[in-house]
Structure 1
């Protein structure tokens, strides 16, 4: 066998893990596995944050729509015509005499 075939065959058999220099190889493999675990964990956490942001944006849109609806209802309730109708239903009616202005004067002693 040629040298290249032997090295490929040895790699496929896993002889790089059982050689006399295997300790150095195991350290590198464990380091790479640790980095992969950190990368996977980071990816999952970022995905969770993206999902949380999407949920919060949806909630924000819903609350904004509710705020606008409530403001519209309040504006309708504050209209003079609706107040007048409610006052009439309670037995109140507009005054027939105009209001009088009251003037207060102070005298210096």
Structure 2
């Protein structure tokens, strides 16, 4: 009972050999602060990763849309339609093959 009362009265912190108790309390407090800090840092990183994943999905969607538009623009029918306004059309005669004879 006397030991319980001495703990409740915080006598272990004011005795002559209390320095080792204070060291332990300060050490445990420092560890608690480090753990809290690392927890907050991990939370920040998790939110940043989630935001970056969302951005990646949006950029992939934009890339696929641009690639689809490029494929539409590269079609021969689309090119001939765009060049017909300028008076350029497909050739009516097939190309002539040039034969080079080495002597």
TM (normalized to structure 1)? 0.85
Per-residue deviation at 1:92?
1.0
> What residue in structure 2 maps to residue 95 of structure 1?
91
What secondary structure is seen at the aligned counterpart in 1 of 2:95?
A: coil
Following the alignment from structure 2 to structure 1, what is the Cα–Cα distance between the partners of residues 71 and 8?
77
Following the alignment from structure 1 to structure 2, what is the Cα–Cα distance between the partners of residues 96 and 34?
86
Following the alignment from structure 2 to structure 1, what is the Cα–Cα distance between the partners of residues 89 and 19?
98
Say if 2:71 is the partner of 1:75: yes
Aligned pairs for 1:41-60 within 5 A: 41-60=37-56
Per-residue deviation at 1:24?
1.4
* Unmatched segments (≥5 aa) in structure 2: none
Say if 2:26 is the partner of 1:26: no
Per-residue deviation at 1:73?
0.4
Aligned residues: 103
* Structure ranking higher on relative contact order (CA contacts 8 Å, 6+ apart): 2
Please list the CA deviations of residues 5-55 of structure 1 after superposition, one character each: whole Å capped at 9, or x if unmatched. x33333233222112222111011001001111111111111111111111
Following the alignment from structure 1 to structure 2, what is the Cα–Cα distance between the partners of residues 80 and 60?
33
